[in-house]
Structure 1
Amino acid sequence: MSHVEKLIAAAPEAAPAPWWKGAAIYQIYPRSFADSNGDGIGDLPGITAHLDHVANLGVDAVWVSPFYTSPQRDFGYDVADYRGIDPIFGTLDDFDAMVARAHQLGLKLIIDQVYSHTSDQHDWFAKSRADRTNDKADWYVWADAKPDGSPPSNWQSVFGGPSWTWDARRGQYYLHNFLSAQPDLNVHHPAVQDALIAVARFWLERGVDGFRIDALNFAMHDPALRDNPPLPPGGKRTRPFDFQQHLYNQSHGDITAFIERLRGELDHFPGTFALAEVGGEQALAEMHAFTRGANRLDSAYGFDFLYADRLTPALVASAADAWPDTPGTGWPSWAFENHDAPRAVSRWSKPEHRDAFTRMKLLLLAALRGSIILYQGEELGLTQVDVPFGQLQDPEAIANWPLTLSRDGVRTPMPWHGGAPNLGFGKGEPWLPLGPDHGALAVDRQDRDPGSILAATRTALALRRDRAALRLGAIKLIEAGEQLLIFERRYGGERLRCSFNLSPNRVIWSSAGRAIAAVGEVAETSLGGYAAIIEELSCV
């Protein structure tokens, strides 16, 4: 054995990366995934019965959106009991069966935690509003009226109108950054933090593998209740919320101290994962703060892609550059679609280009540095559904119609069987209408077709799973022009060159290595519209 070989043999093996680093996560919106009992609403047994489909995609984990006891004013993001399962979704036994089946299939399972607010039907709020002296009197954000009776500050709700509602029982206003039925918790209060961490412990002890934390930057406000300053004129404004700089109703600096407390609890359950959702003007700075170092959250995702009107090389380059591979910087996660954002294929491509675009988009998502999130139906290429006003369920869309695009259009039922009643979603009339073109995209029809979007999804995810450079490697931008996006992914001795034409027009391009994946028309000197190729440059 040579001297070099002896050194290599004696060197300690690098610790394996945690499962979530570079993972592909599949989001399930329970109301719309699969209905097992015929009431028109998806449920936990429906999820459990279809987890084979999720596992066969090649993802690493499932994120299940809220299923907690709730009056469903905001469809589960208004929690009335953090430890209960709403009867429309099933029981705790159903939840345990879902976790067990996911683990049996090799899937991690993460769930939503909603720490910034509860439902006004929560027992905590019922007690808090009763008087100003009980032990939960300060668990929510209460404030006196101004001398003229107006609200304590000028803060505006995301869903429209002031974010303060008068409560006659206490003779005070309470804060709600979302619906008036979603009062804000006072997460500054140590007892509230204790209660929320106990909620996290309850679900970790039931076997979940981590959390996606909803609207985390709304968890703490400015205790001085200072007015938000106005935004400069310009930009699209459909709600009063859009007129302000949100400096004081959210994003307080003490959120990070709460995160560190939560991290301490998660660390009692090795291998768990914590992902924050962060939006707003300061989202990037907050995502970095929430994920900095080893004692905060593992990852965060924002809205870089979710509300973008176009997918451009500059957008992808900017998003990637915002997360440098430097010590202390957190790990990003990316989503092109979710339960709040319109379908990417409908936002970013014309109908005549949809098939080619969707294949390119899937390969791009699989090639990004970070963890990636696919929303249910994205693997099928589902389009946004135009839900008529009379069938809208989304409270934000109803309040701001027709200027706010309904979230209902991305929440329509999953099509499982193209020829079945309700496309196999369930026996009863679904809570939202089915997409008129979704039957042809149903799981059973695509599952039999090796040239389908579903097959392309599986191929892209398999490539990501098999190539450490795509899961874990650094990213280096090579070109981000009007049409052409080129970057390299590197890990160890592996070096991959990823090229994407983000336009419907042919673009000049030259091959640089051995192709390991391609979609669309790829030639030696050009890429066709929405074509993409990943090449191996070196592998030692």
Structure 2
Amino acid sequence: MLETAIDKEWWRGAVIYQIYPRSYQDSNADGIGDLNGITSRLPYIASLGVDAIWISPFFTSPMDDFGYDVSDYCNVDPMFGSLADFEKLVSAAHYLGLKVMIDLVLSHTSDRHPWFIESRKDQTNHKSDWYVWADAKPDGTVPNNWLSIFGGSSWQWDSRRKQYYLHNFLKSQPDLNFHNPDVQDALLDATRFWLDKGVDGFRLDTINFYFHSESLKDNPALPPEKQSYNTAPSVNPYSYQSHLYDKSQPENLDFLRRFRALLDEYPAAAAVGEVGDDERGLQILADYTSGGDKMHMCYAFDFLGGGAPTPNKVWKAFHDLESEAPDAWACWAFSNHDVVRYTSRWQVAPDLQDNANRLHIALLLTMRGSACLYQGEELGLQEAYVPYEDLQDPYGIEFWPDFPGRDGARTPMVWDQTSTYAGFSEVKPWLPIPEEHLFAAVGLAEQNVTSLLNHYRAMLAFRKAHPALRKGTMDFDRTDGDVLTFVRSHEGDEVYCAFNLSPETREIPFDGNTIEPLDHKLDFYTEVDNDLLKLQAYGVFFGSIKKS
């Protein structure tokens, strides 16, 4: 029997489907999704044509931040199942040709992790410097002006040690001290545990938060005109600072090299990092993915916040990335579990929403890089309204009503419109399911050959059919006004991509050249002649250019 060659670069150009396990499929009627539920839905995921799944945290946790507060890195929380259930999931995914990536939260743990319980006992125990501790100022106030993404100071007083500890997120999520090599070793051991369980890679949460500056200098103020609200909402003063000292430190590069060296011991393991930095996101992405000895790929928040993509915004993102590191590799996403779904964030007229949804997935899947899709976006799900009394997210509870938190992007997946709970569970789910989501359920979409779901499948098949779209170069043509055009090329395969990012019809002249459509099913255009392409509102065209 011939052995199948291992593709060590499967990740380059891969499309990764993100699963938020609490909200994907409940298999044991407790209202919360679980690992066995995911396993039961793997054939659906495989039918989309994606390459891999990324599962948000399912580790043992008190669930203050729904699994992003880990109390045991090497076990499954009973809420989600068992290690045996996870092993079955990996086996089933691999049988269907899907890679499995899991979310590693290395920057911080739960305050109920045994490491922190030991560390906080006193200032001399063997784990006393596994977390970031600092003395109070002489007047008893916090060590510096660093702020938490979840609001307020990032320092919390601990009466046992009579010191403050650092937490970039909830006060129950203390930050690990990466300046201690023993901490790094312990985290790498946990990484190896999951690699030995058969995972194909990792999504690294808040990858640029690992190290802090040991100087503990105050962060400088950021002028109002430079403030951005991609990482934190405008109601949070976190965006008032230039975060020079509390994250994105140069020492992180050496740890990422250690992490990559571990992954390289395995046949084809890969990792994607989340870069949370409004000022230097693309620069950090470039630093972390260049050289072939750190991250395989990273994603920043350029398209996860703010306004819809414009031709100039897309061009600038790639221009800046190319300027920082030509060999860097990005992984683009328009939605995830932390941000408002892009169908709501980038509002368009209701009668044009479907066209806009089709354009945005076409753009995401043709830009150079890998891509992440978030569960439910293939159905065109809008951000859900969750009443205050049903909120679960501590972030939203803190800043309600000005910022409702992240629950609106985390409501359960809708499978069957005829079921009381949309086929997600037999009992009331942990978050309510909006009635309007039922009209986008998988069962209905499967019955409509022209549904957005089937368009996703067609786009993913189109991407797989063209090596240029997965691994090719990207040469921009038009980047001004409302029209964006570029050419993807790879070893003789060439795809011309045109997008009308506006609600008005636009024309593109071709100066005597002729164009030939590559796939009529994916195009939204009203007329194509030898030297003129007319794109309707949010129109898309894929073709090849024949030079005159």
Q: Which TM-score tier does this pair reach, normalised by the shorter chain?
A: over 0.9
RMSD between aligned alpha carbons?
1.7
Distance 1:215 1:390 in 2: 29
* Residue equivalent to 2:247: 250
* Residue equivalent to 2:123: 132
Residue 181 (1) aligns with residue 180 (2): no
Moved more, 231-240 or 293-302: 231-240
Task: Indicate if the aligned counterparts of 1:472 and 1:491 stay in contact, CA closer than 8 A.
Answer: yes
Q: Secondary structure at the match of 1:111?
A: strand
* Residue equivalent to 2:66: 75
Summarize the alignment of residues 393-432 of structure 1 with structure 2, pairs less than 5 Å apart: 393-432=392-431
Distance 1:39-1:324 versus aligned 2 partners, 3 A rule: same
1:481: Cα distance to partner?
2.3
Pick aligned residue for 1:335 from 312, 320, 333: 333
Distance 1:451 1:162 in 2: 50
* Residue equivalent to 1:537: 545
Pick aligned residue for 1:228 from 219, 223, 240: 219
1:405: Cα distance to partner?
4.2
Summarize the alignment of residues 239-278 of structure 1 with structure 2, pairs less than 5 Å apart: 239-278=236-275
* Residue equivalent to 1:319: 317
Residue 22 (1) aligns with residue 20 (2): no
Distance 2:326 2:255 in 1: 19
Task: Indicate if the aligned counterparts of 1:312 and 1:483 stay in contact, CA closer than 8 A.
Answer: yes
* Residue equivalent to 1:515: 517
1:338-366 superposed Cα distances (whole Å, 9 cap, x missing partner):
00111111121232211111111111111
Summarize the alignment of residues 126-205 of structure 1 with structure 2, pairs less than 5 Å apart: 126-205=117-196
1:406: Cα distance to partner?
2.0
Distance 1:370-1:138 versus aligned 2 partners, 3 A rule: same
Moved more, 360-369 or 24-33: 360-369
* Residue equivalent to 2:470: 471
Q: Secondary structure at the match of 1:364?
A: helix
Unaligned runs of at least 5 residues, structure 2 = 1-5
Moved more, 514-523 or 44-53: 514-523
Distance 1:383 1:407 in 2: 13
1:435: Cα distance to partner?
2.3
Figure out how many residues of one structure are paired with residues of the other and give that number: 526
Task: Indicate if the aligned counterparts of 2:282 and 2:317 stay in contact, CA closer than 8 A.
Answer: no
Task: Indicate if the aligned counterparts of 1:501 and 1:530 stay in contact, CA closer than 8 A.
Answer: yes
Pick aligned residue for 1:62 from 11, 36, 53: 53
1:463: Cα distance to partner?
0.5
Moved more, 232-241 or 331-340: 232-241
Distance 2:454 2:239 in 1: 41
1:328: Cα distance to partner?
6.0
1:313: Cα distance to partner?
1.4
Summarize the alignment of residues 31-42 of structure 1 with structure 2, pairs less than 5 Å apart: 31-42=22-33
Distance 2:201 2:37 in 1: 21
Task: Indicate if the aligned counterparts of 2:283 and 2:321 stay in contact, CA closer than 8 A.
Answer: no
Distance 1:398 1:444 in 2: 34
Q: Which amino acid aligns with 2:538?
A: Y
Unaligned runs of at least 5 residues, structure 1 = 1-14
Distance 1:17-1:538 versus aligned 2 partners, 3 A rule: farther
Task: Indicate if the aligned counterparts of 2:479 and 2:485 stay in contact, CA closer than 8 A.
Answer: yes
Q: Secondary structure at the match of 2:356?
A: helix
Moved more, 229-238 or 109-118: 229-238
1:189: Cα distance to partner?
0.5
Q: Secondary structure at the match of 1:276?
A: strand
Summarize the alignment of residues 5-20 of structure 1 with structure 2, pairs less than 5 Å apart: 18-20=9-11
Q: Which amino acid aligns with 1:482?
A: G
Q: Which amino acid aligns with 1:504?
A: P
1:324: Cα distance to partner?
2.7
Q: Secondary structure at the match of 1:421?
A: coil
Task: Indicate if the aligned counterparts of 2:13 and 2:470 stay in contact, CA closer than 8 A.
Answer: yes
Q: Which amino acid aligns with 2:507?
A: I
1:233: Cα distance to partner?
3.1
Distance 2:306 2:154 in 1: 26
Moved more, 36-45 or 393-402: 393-402
1:311: Cα distance to partner?
2.4
Q: Secondary structure at the match of 1:268?
A: coil
1:437: Cα distance to partner?
1.3
1:538: Cα distance to partner?
6.6
Distance 1:433 1:142 in 2: 40
1:500-531 superposed Cα distances (whole Å, 9 cap, x missing partner):
11111101124642211333233124100011
Distance 1:193-1:16 versus aligned 2 partners, 3 A rule: closer
Residue 103 (1) aligns with residue 94 (2): yes
Distance 1:535 1:347 in 2: 30
Q: Secondary structure at the match of 1:48?
A: helix
Q: Which amino acid aligns with 1:319?
A: A
Distance 1:217-1:421 versus aligned 2 partners, 3 A rule: same
* Residue equivalent to 2:497: 498
Task: Indicate if the aligned counterparts of 2:523 and 2:542 stay in contact, CA closer than 8 A.
Answer: no
Distance 1:487 1:510 in 2: 14
Distance 1:326-1:177 versus aligned 2 partners, 3 A rule: closer
Q: Secondary structure at the match of 2:541?
A: strand
Distance 1:39-1:16 versus aligned 2 partners, 3 A rule: closer
Task: Indicate if the aligned counterparts of 1:144 and 1:172 stay in contact, CA closer than 8 A.
Answer: yes
Task: Indicate if the aligned counterparts of 1:498 and 1:532 stay in contact, CA closer than 8 A.
Answer: yes
Q: Which amino acid aligns with 2:377?
A: E
Q: Which amino acid aligns with 1:523?
A: E
Q: Which amino acid aligns with 2:537?
A: G
Q: Secondary structure at the match of 1:292?
A: helix
1:326: Cα distance to partner?
9.7
Task: Indicate if the aligned counterparts of 1:495 and 1:538 stay in contact, CA closer than 8 A.
Answer: no
1:256-299 superposed Cα distances (whole Å, 9 cap, x missing partner):
00001111111111211111100112212211111121211100
Q: Which amino acid aligns with 1:243?
A: Y
Task: Indicate if the aligned counterparts of 2:111 and 2:117 stay in contact, CA closer than 8 A.
Answer: yes
Distance 1:535-1:328 versus aligned 2 partners, 3 A rule: closer
Structure 1 length-normalised TM: 0.95
Distance 1:326-1:346 versus aligned 2 partners, 3 A rule: closer
Q: Which amino acid aligns with 1:516?
A: L
Task: Indicate if the aligned counterparts of 1:493 and 1:538 stay in contact, CA closer than 8 A.
Answer: no
1:108: Cα distance to partner?
0.3
Name the % identity: 47
* Residue equivalent to 2:371: 372
1:536: Cα distance to partner?
2.2
Distance 1:485 1:239 in 2: 34
* Residue equivalent to 2:3: none
Distance 1:124 1:153 in 2: 25
1:82-116 superposed Cα distances (whole Å, 9 cap, x missing partner):
01111111110110011011001000000011111
Distance 1:249 1:267 in 2: 30
* Residue equivalent to 1:437: 436
Distance 1:376 1:325 in 2: 33
